[in-house]
Amino acid sequence: MSEPIQLSDITWESFNAMDVGAKGRYLARNNREYHVLVAQQFTRNRLEELGALATAIRRISKQEEGMTFLRSLLANHRAMLYFSQPSSRTFLSFCAACEILGLNIGEVRDTSTSSEFKGETQEDSVRTFSSYFDLIIMRSQMGGLAERMAWLLSNTERPVPMINAGSGKDQHPTQALLDVYTLQRSFEKRGSIDGKTIVFVGDLARGRTVRSLAWLLTNYRDVKMIFVAPPELQIGDDILALLKGAGVSFELMSEFDRAIPLADAIYMTRIQDEWDAPGEKRKIDISRFCFTCDKLPMLKSDAVIMHPFPRRQEISVEVDADPRAVYWRQMRNGMWIRTALIAAIFGKEHQINDFFARQGG
Amino acid sequence: MSEPIQLSDITWESFNAMDVGAKGRYLARNNREYHVLVAQQFTRNRLEELGALATAIRRISKQEEGMTFLRSLLANHRAMLYFSQPSSRTFLSFCAACEILGLNIGEVRDTSTSSEFKGETQEDSVRTFSSYFDLIIMRSQMGGLAERMAWLLSNTERPVPMINAGSGKDQHPTQALLDVYTLQRSFEKRGSIDGKTIVFVGDLARGRTVRSLAWLLTNYRDVKMIFVAPPELQIGDDILALLKGAGVSFELMSEFDRAIPLADAIYMTRIQDEWDAPGEKRKIDISRFCFTCDKLPMLKSDAVIMHPFPRRQEISVEVDADPRAVYWRQMRNGMWIRTALIAAIFGKEHQINDFFARQGG
Amino acid sequence: MSEPIQLSDITWESFNAMDVGAKGRYLARNNREYHVLVAQQFTRNRLEELGALATAIRRISKQEEGMTFLRSLLANHRAMLYFSQPSSRTFLSFCAACEILGLNIGEVRDTSTSSEFKGETQEDSVRTFSSYFDLIIMRSQMGGLAERMAWLLSNTERPVPMINAGSGKDQHPTQALLDVYTLQRSFEKRGSIDGKTIVFVGDLARGRTVRSLAWLLTNYRDVKMIFVAPPELQIGDDILALLKGAGVSFELMSEFDRAIPLADAIYMTRIQDEWDAPGEKRKIDISRFCFTCDKLPMLKSDAVIMHPFPRRQEISVEVDADPRAVYWRQMRNGMWIRTALIAAIFGKEHQINDFFARQGG
């Protein structure tokens, strides 16, 4: 069998022009993830495997012996966290994930302290990181930058894997992974994600998390999606076309209360006004798209409420106490699935699963 | 025996309204520190135990084998250092303390790089930290914030301990601990802190360290306190009332030279002008409250000079060479006592003391 | 035999006034580096030893067992990275070097987050670092600051070693070390650096790397240096006087193409406009001093192209693919030689060489 194709086998122009769904097959190496760039690179089967790996890690970590085992796995490696766009949540989640695996960390979080100051290109900066580190985790305000840099890294003498930790408006694949993992865990006792109704609420036009998650859910059978938003912020036609093409059943609504009783999961989002064009000042009444305590009785007893954070007023703090509010657990799931992903990239999946099996997991 | 009361057993309003001296009994768990929020939560007995633990750690660390032992204690844990107010000294001291115990660190030091940027509440930020880390060490410009956040954390599904690393003008409990530890060490060969005369000098009105230390010293017998400051910056009446209530002997002075020969310890402080209201421009001649070399002959041969740092002109650099100037050792004591405190929070006190005893400590 | 002289044996004024070549003998302790302050402190013999140590470390690190060995060497120590001048490259290189040896790290990179904010002197800040850490790695915009601080540290009760990671316009000794190490490696199969022709190009007036490297190369026999620059940016007369004094053969040129075929190594540099006086706006056509692909055929087949980074337009990105372009390897050499240096400071040189020998290195 020949080694599958890699990112070094294609020109940047060809890769860049490719449909997102087709990019995935250039991102693997040795039959596992190498670069993690787009949510669409994960098949259903792989989503299940990574979820199982995250759960194995989570359970192993409950005992000192297990933590010590995990911490030994990548203690001889170094990861670079390059966050030129502010995000303490994603940063800390990756930081904790690296620490669980013993990975040593280097970081650049504030571009004003970096040597880009001296007029260096982004390409040279990223190649610098790859000179000192074995993995680059990158967050940027520029759409497509992580892809470009991953392609570049794959075409050097010292390729290192790249994880996209959020690039502009388009991709944040590990957020999509943690969302799917949260759904997997939430529906564990009710079969699987198949056949469930997911209600997306809020700023669906711009939120990349909703777009990625909707895409990934087309991997599952008989999922129904309901999109609840003011007309100006409804989900894009491109996603709807994709869902149609995949035969997914969906509905658009503007009245939140009508959707709540139908939901197995409600995915709340916030207004993404940091992407507003300068001067653009949206005056949308979003109060009708907030989850307040009075809505709890409308919700099925086994449904869940999710949110990618940060939240503003979309979910009242009082809702946190309801057991169906799983968004804090969802956040912690992010740490576990990122740990799983990094472990997988470095080929530690079998070793972890073996340890878990021996423990009687 | 029933488990003692905890922070989750009381409403925030009740806890917040409580006298500082009464708060301590809500901050323990399993008979040891859980949250560390106020200097007043430490009894004399506990101050002695923590001092002994710090000394054990300090001595153990002198040998490679001891360092390796210490570093193994918390290697499977992670601490979050959240410093929204600048302080490299306290930050680095906690950083070193964590590293001595093998604790992995995550940090947010510059609020401009954080996701609060996106309009998140402080509460949600701190709960985020608690999702990824096992201990939160927090410094903030807002008085009472650490207490509020500790209360919040105690009332979630995943409580984690909180150490207040300085909150506004009111509390900086680990500074008070290091000050007491320095006095303990300084008077080791002269009995104890009992019966000693402590002279506080400088900006006593606003310096939280002096206020906390004076409070803690009421735990000791026959301590005499002398407060030396210009009238505008003298110690507050609330502290004096407290001292009277505790039967502590004290004196106010405005002439430094008269106090020096009486001192067993001189605690110098700086003018806290970062707390000045905007526009407020104090024009106080503080030169009379500085420790210069010409004052050294007035000082008892076994007295000590302390300073919480940073210093400006309050102590001449030339004084550093005098063996009675213990402020650099005091700074290092801060690292040891913080190490002791973190070890105690995680229940490692006995293990360390046992190791020390086996070493013939 | 008496212990050699140390930095504590001399006044600051005498040390500061000393010729740079004479400073080296004050910087050692126990026959190895203690402070690393100036490129000129390294003899040829020591350059060879450190290069060999870097190579041993590099080869040892290729195996998990070797990485684990290296990581154990300084796991009980802590290093402080104090970078008040922005430099992500040097910072990350030292960070990786520390991590390879297991050294725990504390850092202050952004002076606005530091307590200097409260009016503390640099001296007190650095003594603070030395209270918590066992090694200080310092970068500053101020020439001579690292020397001053090293002298200070050597004259305290708790001296710790200092590595100068770049101080103003004058010294960046580990850059010089990595440049020499890169030349050593590049000429490994062609004997040594002896007898080679090194061409320096660009902003030779202000670039400290060229000045330091030229100095160090006087340690080798029959090296010829060619300096190619526009007249305003030619190498300083002080360096030329030094070379004359050392009997080194050199030539000044303004036409790049004439120098290329003569080179065994070409050392490209960028215009250092961050040192420009305010208002000073240089209008020099540097396009004639750039290495573009059309120059590759003029270059000897076994010559190398180096650059200290960051680069702007001095070297076309297309040149990177040529095997003679070693500047990316040069960057990685920086990590290895810094690792070697830190290991040497802490007396781990023999242990590493022994491990390497046992491996059949």
Cβ neighbors of A160 (< 8 A, separation 6 or more) are: A130, A133, A134, A135, A136, A153
Q: pTM for this one?
A: 0.95
Q: CA of C112: which chain A residue's CA is closest?
A: A113
Identify all chain C residues contacting A157, using CB atoms and an 8 Å cutoff.
328
Whether residue C120 and residue B311 make contact (CB cut-off 8 A), yes or no, is yes
Give the confidence band of A322 by pLDDT, cuts at 50, 70, 90: very high
Joined tokens for residue C321: 């693919």
Mean per-residue pLDDT over chain A, rounded: 92
Q: From the list B87, B274, B310, which residue is nearest C124 (CB)?
A: B310
Q: From the list B67, B92, B274, which residue is nearest C118 (CB)?
A: B274
* CATH 3.40.50.410 fits domain A173-327: no
pLDDT, mean of residues B130-150: 94
Q: How far is the C-alpha of A90 from the C-alpha of A334, rounded, in Å?
A: 9
Identify all chain A residues contacting C309, using CB atoms and an 8 Å cutoff.
120, 124, 128
Give the confidence band of A270 by pLDDT, cuts at 50, 70, 90: confident
Residue A360's pLDDT is 77
Least confident of B108-112, B166-170, C209-213: B108-112
C127 touching B, CB under 8 A?
A: yes
Q: How far is the C-alpha of A147 from the C-alpha of A17, rounded, in Å?
A: 12
Residue A274's pLDDT is 55
CA-to-CA separations, C103 to A79, A298, C74, C109, in angstroms, rounded: 16, 56, 5, 18
Whether residue C124 and residue B86 make contact (CB cut-off 8 A), yes or no, is no
Residue of B8, B71, B76, B149 to mutate when probing chain A, most A C-beta within 10 A = B76
In chain B, residues under CATH classification 3.40.50.1370 are: 7-172+334-353, 173-332
* Residues above pLDDT 90, as percent of chain B: 80
To the nearest 10 degrees (0 to 180), the angle between helices C237-245 and C208-217 is: 10
A95 touching B, CB under 8 A?
A: yes
Identify all chain B residues contacting C157, using CB atoms and an 8 Å cutoff.
328
Residue B1's pLDDT is 39
Residue B267's pLDDT is 98
Identify all chain C residues contacting A148, using CB atoms and an 8 Å cutoff.
none
- Return the residue matching tokens 């400290």: C208
The yes-or-no verdict on residue B350 having pLDDT over 90 is: yes
pLDDT, mean of residues B307-316: 93
> What SS3 class is residue A25?
helix
Please give, rounded to a whole number of angstroms, the shortest distance from the CA of B151 to a CA of chain A.
Answer: 15
**CATH class of the domain at B173-332:** alpha beta
In chain A, residues under CATH classification 3.40.50.1370 are: 7-172+333-354, 173-327
Give the confidence band of C87 by pLDDT, cuts at 50, 70, 90: confident
pLDDT, mean of residues C137-159: 93
Cβ neighbors of C86 (< 8 A, separation 6 or more) are: A112, A113, A114, A115, A117, C109
Identify all chain B residues contacting C75, using CB atoms and an 8 Å cutoff.
68, 71
Residue of B64, B68, B92 to mutate when probing chain C, most C C-beta within 10 A = B92
Whether residue A332 and residue B158 make contact (CB cut-off 8 A), yes or no, is yes
Task: Give the distance from CA A166 to its chain's centroid.
Answer: 8
- Return the residue matching tokens 């990861």: A79
Label each residue of chain B as H, E or C. CCCCCCHHHCCHHHHHHCCHHHHHHHCEECCEECCECCHHHCCHHHHHHHHHHHHHHHHHCCCHHHHHHHHHHCCCCEEEEEECCCCHHHHHHHHHHHHHCCCEEEEECCHHHCHHHHCCCHHHHHHHHHHHCCEEEEEECCCCHHHHHHHHHHCCCCCCCEEEEEECCCECHHHHHHHHHHHHHHCHHHCCCCCCEEEEECCCCCCHHHHHHHHHHCCCCCCEEEEECCHHHCCCHHHHHHHHHCCCEEEEECCHHHHHHHCCEEEECCCCHHHCCCCCCCCCCCHHHCECHHHHHHCCCCCEEECCCCCCCCECHHHHHCCCECHHHHHHHHHHHHHHHHHHHCCCHHHHHHHHHHCCC
pLDDT tens digits, B187-236: 999 999 999 999 999 999 888 889 899 999 999 999 999 999 999 899 99
CATH architecture of residue range(s) A7-172+333-354: 3-Layer(aba) Sandwich (3.40)
Cβ neighbors of B27 (< 8 A, separation 6 or more) are: B7, B33, B34, B35, B36, B37, B38, B41, B150
Whether residue A76 and residue C67 make contact (CB cut-off 8 A), yes or no, is yes
B158 touching A, CB under 8 A?
A: yes
The yes-or-no verdict on residue C141 having pLDDT over 90 is: no
Q: From the list C86, C311, C328, which residue is nearest A131 (CB)?
A: C328
Task: Dump strand ranges (E) for A153-283.
Answer: 162-167, 197-201, 224-228, 249-253, 265-268
B157 touching A, CB under 8 A?
A: yes
Q: Which chains touch A (3 or more CB pairs under 8 A)?
A: B, C
The yes-or-no verdict on residue A164 having pLDDT over 90 is: yes
C104 touching B, CB under 8 A?
A: yes
Beta bridge partners of A224: A197, A249
A62 touching B, CB under 8 A?
A: no
Q: From the list B80, B118, B158, which residue is nearest A310 (CB)?
A: B118
Q: CA of B329: which chain C residue's CA is closest?
A: C131
Q: CA of A88: which chain B residue's CA is closest?
A: B114
Mean per-residue pLDDT over chain C, rounded: 92
Whether residue C120 and residue B68 make contact (CB cut-off 8 A), yes or no, is no
pLDDT tens digits, A117-126: 567 888 999 9
Joined tokens for residue C101: 């040896």
pLDDT, mean of residues A294-312: 96
Cα-trace Rg, chain B: 20
To the nearest 10 degrees (0 to 180), the angle between helices C173-186 and C208-217 is: 60
Give the confidence band of C206 by pLDDT, cuts at 50, 70, 90: confident
Whether residue A115 and residue C274 make contact (CB cut-off 8 A), yes or no, is no
Residue C1's pLDDT is 40
Identify all chain C residues contacting A156, using CB atoms and an 8 Å cutoff.
328
Residue C274's pLDDT is 55
B11 touching A, CB under 8 A?
A: no
Task: Give the distance from CA B203 to its chain's centroid.
Answer: 17
> What SS3 class is residue A193?
coil
**CATH class of the domain at B7-172+334-353:** alpha beta
Q: From the list B67, B110, B309, which residue is nearest C76 (CB)?
A: B67
Cβ neighbors of C94 (< 8 A, separation 6 or more) are: C79, C81, C137, C163, C165, C338
Q: CA of A78: which chain C residue's CA is closest?
A: C96
Cβ neighbors of A253 (< 8 A, separation 6 or more) are: A226, A227, A228, A259
Q: Is the N-terminal amide bond of C310 cis, ω within 30° of 0?
A: yes
A120 touching C, CB under 8 A?
A: yes
Please give, rounded to a whole number of angstroms, the shortest distance from the CA of C280 to a CA of chain B.
Answer: 33
Whether residue B129 and residue A92 make contact (CB cut-off 8 A), yes or no, is yes
pLDDT tens digits, B51-89: 999 999 999 999 999 999 999 999 999 999 999 887 889
Identify all chain B residues contacting C133, using CB atoms and an 8 Å cutoff.
92, 96
Residue A118's pLDDT is 65
Q: How many CB pairs under 8 A join B and C?
A: 73
Q: Between β-strands A32-33 and A265-268, what pairing exists: parallel, antiparallel or unpaired?
A: unpaired
Cβ neighbors of B269 (< 8 A, separation 6 or more) are: B200, B201, B202, B203, B204, B207, B209, B210, B307, B308, B314
pLDDT tens digits, A166-197: 988 889 999 999 999 999 999 999 999 999 99
Predicted complex ipTM exceeds 0.85? yes
Q: Residue A150: enclosing H or E segment and its boundaries?
A: helix A145-154
B122 touching C, CB under 8 A?
A: no
Please give, rounded to a whole number of angstroms, the shortest distance from the CA of A78 to a CA of chain C.
Answer: 8
Whether residue B115 and residue A64 make contact (CB cut-off 8 A), yes or no, is no
A76 touching C, CB under 8 A?
A: yes
pLDDT, mean of residues C306-316: 93
Q: CA of C68: which chain A residue's CA is closest?
A: A76
Q: Which chains touch B (3 or more CB pairs under 8 A)?
A: A, C
Identify all chain C residues contacting B331, using CB atoms and an 8 Å cutoff.
128, 131
- Return the residue matching tokens 């880390």: B133
B111 touching C, CB under 8 A?
A: no
Fold assignment, C7-172+334-358:
Rossmann fold (3.40.50)
pLDDT tens digits, B160-186: 999 999 988 889 999 999 999 999 999
Q: CA of B94: which chain C residue's CA is closest?
A: C132
* Residues above pLDDT 90, as percent of chain C: 80
The yes-or-no verdict on residue B2 having pLDDT over 70 is: no
C149 touching A, CB under 8 A?
A: no
B353 touching A, CB under 8 A?
A: no
> What DSSP designation does A236 have?
P
* Residues above pLDDT 70, as percent of chain B: 93
Whether residue A86 and residue B117 make contact (CB cut-off 8 A), yes or no, is yes
